[in-house]
Amino acid sequence: MKKDFLIQRSNECRKEILKMVYNASSGHIGGAFSAIDIMVYLYFEKMNFSKNNFTDINRDRFILSKGHASAALYSCLAFKEIISFEELSGFRKIDRMLQGHPSRKTTPGVETSTGSLGQGLSFANGCALGLKIKNINSKTYCMVGDGEINEGQFWEALMTSARYRLENLRVILDYNHLQIDGKIEEIKNPSPSRERFESFGFYVIEINGHNFDEIEKAFTEADLIKRMPVFIIAHTTKGKGVSFMENNVDFHGTPPKKDEFERAMKELENA
């Protein structure tokens, strides 16, 4: 693993995300920053997914079920050279390809449209199961949010993953403890514990979702697991990377003001 490169790439992605949300005057920074390190690891280290094969049946697939973190996904696709950096300036704008939430029909490299929460894992199960039927040995990765799992369909989908023993599937929970109305514990409290997902039939790994050594160890371990789907609980920090955005629910879906943008960019440049 080229750890220094990944750290640098994450920092570059955070800067692109910040610019996108600032330019669009809307979008979700906090959840994009909590998710980006794992996404960078998957896109730039782990997955068989490139500008040359992103429509091949044999590619690995990443499904961003928490579609609100679309800016994180678009930054990765730009660095993968699947979309141009010029497109990032059109984030959330009319006549441009980067929709507020990922849209398969408008954006190359987006596996499916997400944003209506709770549906991505079912889709990922269909991919993983379909690939098994076709004897294709690629992996499906699905990232869900800890607010998102308030949705009942997520729990239906967990049962499906386990029922069909989808060892080619890895579910990643971005456990940043905040949803739009506040702390997840104070809203519905889905208690995303190791025991809970083990009881659903998953092999569970817990990591710090911002530490590349732990991320690498988890996904390497996942590859050794047979006849069970793997669930990675990634402990993360909402707004990670910009001090005044960290653990601050105000930056869930509110864009930074001009001075906040400048302070944030300075922090990222000095990181």
Interface residues with other proteins (CB under 8 A) are 57, 103-105, 111-116, 118-120, 122-131, 133-134, 136, 152-153, 156-157, 159-160
Nearer to other proteins, 122 or 237 (CB): 122
By three-state DSSP, how is residue 47 classified? coil
Residues facing residue 172 across a β-bridge? 143, 232
| Minimum distance of other proteins from residue 150's CB (angstroms) | 14
Instruction: Tell whether the torsion through CA atoms of 119, 37, 199 and 178 is positive or negative.
Output: negative
Nearer to other proteins, 135 or 270 (CB): 135
| Minimum distance of other proteins from residue 127's CB (angstroms) | 4
Q: Which long-range contacts (CB under 8 A, 24 or more apart) does 242-246 make?
A: 242/14, 242/18, 242/33, 242/267, 242/268, 243/267, 245/29, 245/30, 245/33
| Minimum distance of other proteins from residue 134's CB (angstroms) | 6
Whole-angstrom distance, CA of residue 227 vs CA of residue 18: 40
By three-state DSSP, how is residue 19 classified? helix
| Minimum distance of other proteins from residue 11's CB (angstroms) | 31
DSSP 187: T
Amino acid identity for residue 101 in this structure: H
Strands 169-175 and 230-235: parallel
Task: Find how far residue 204's CA is from the centre of its chain.
Answer: 18
Nearer to other proteins, 153 or 248 (CB): 153
Nearer to other proteins, 152 or 227 (CB): 152
Whole-angstrom distance, CA of residue 163 vs CA of residue 249: 36
Nearer to other proteins, 56 or 223 (CB): 56
Nearer to other proteins, 152 or 186 (CB): 152
